[in-house]
Amino acid sequence: MAICPECETDLDLDEEEIDEGEIVSCPECGSDFEVVTKHPLELNPVDELDEDEDDEDVDEEDEDSDY
């Protein structure tokens, strides 16, 4: 089982039907991922743009500020 790193949708991949280096697409958010390893199943985002998109949803780490 593989979970989309972008939207956490179950990609429902069968390890026996994919190969390392294969590109899979998430049906939910449309993101493409390369199969890096199968054991464990590891997906690497394929970005056409050479940019990091880290400036949204970055609020999970700062728990110790008493706001």
Residue (of 27, 23, 21) closest to 7 by Cα position: 27
- Residue closer to Zn ion by CB (options 32, 38) is 32
Minimum distance from residue 7 beta carbon to Zn ion (Å): 3
Minimum distance from residue 33 beta carbon to Zn ion (Å): 9
Helix (H) or strand (E) holding 37, with range, is strand 32-38
Q: Which of residues 3-62 bind Zn ion (CB under 5 A)?
A: 4, 6-7, 9, 26, 28-29
List CB contacts of 20: < 8 A, sequence separation 6 or more: 35, 36, 37, 38
Residues contributing to the site for Zn ion (CB under 5 A): 4, 6-7, 9, 26, 28-29
